[in-house]
Amino acid sequence: MATLTVIAAATPERPPPRPSRLLVAGLLAGPLFTAAYLTEGAARGNGYSQLRHPVSSLALGPHGWEQIANFGVCGLLVVLFSIGLRRTMRTGPGALAVPLLVAGWGVGLIGAGLFVTDPVGGYPTAASPVTWHGQLHDLAFSLPGFAALTLAMLTAAVASMRRRSNRFALYSALSGLAFAVLFAFATMGFAGVHPWTSAAGLWQRLCVSVGWLWLAVLAAGHRRAAR
């Protein structure tokens, strides 16, 4: 009696996951945002000072639409990046929390453009009216956005430590602390607290630069890992 031996076909190996193209948005948003506000600030007259006044004040005046568009475009890029980040991370520590917090920064930017700030530091007028859209700008979008990015860095630090990526964990922790401290300096300066007033705009620009750099490093790292 013949014995039939059935040999199962080998299961084809799964191709490695491709890096999400949306991660590129995380590399583009920071340089675009920075180049735009530096160019606008350099061209803005009428007493505007990049050293003293916030980036948001560029949304005021006849050419304010440029900064409003900058907020909207870069905020959308950050939200797209957060989607790509979620797809790439999939499982493990911080896989849900970090992308959601990054998305919070993007939504904060979009809202900051939709709801224009009130005059700060005497620009564009010495009068400082409190408006509903100015309050929404500060309390509903700007402050939560900065808080979300701070928490994203600190959450990524803890998650990276659990993943045994100690170098990125240390970088994220230091970035989060620097971001929070610089934001506090800028906030006190815009509120008229001395000696922070004269360089409040500088503190804010240093703050957002720390945040944008961290996002770019995060995006580049996940593109490398996915490959």
Bigger pLDDT: 91 or 44?
Answer: 44
Amino acid, single-letter form, for residue 223: R
For the residues 21-27, what does the mean pLDDT come to? Answer: 95
Question: Could you state, in order of their start, the residue ranges of all structural domains in the chain?
Answer: 21-40+47-226
Q: How confident is the model at residue 91 (pLDDT cuts 50, 70, 90)?
A: confident
Query: For 82-113, b where at least 16 C-beta lie within 10 A, e where not — what string?
Result: bbbbbbbbeeebbeebbbbbbbbbbbbbbbbb
Q: How confident is the model at residue 18 (pLDDT cuts 50, 70, 90)?
A: low
Q: How confident is the model at residue 19 (pLDDT cuts 50, 70, 90)?
A: low
**pLDDT tens column, 160-216:** 999 888 999 999 999 999 999 999 999 999 999 989 999 999 999 999 999 999 999
DSSP string, 8-44: PPPPPPPPPPPPPGGGHHHHHHHHHHHHHHHHHHHH-
DSSP 3-state of 120: strand
Residue 12 has pLDDT above 80, yes or no: no
Q: At what angle do helices 97-114 and 64-89 cross, to 10 degrees?
A: 170
**pLDDT tens column, 42-52:** 999 888 999 99
For the residues 114-125, what does the mean pLDDT come to? Answer: 93
Q: How would you class 44 by CB atoms within 10 Å of its CB: exposed for 0-12, middle for 13-18, buried for 19 or more? A: buried
Task: Output the pLDDT for position 226.
Answer: 72
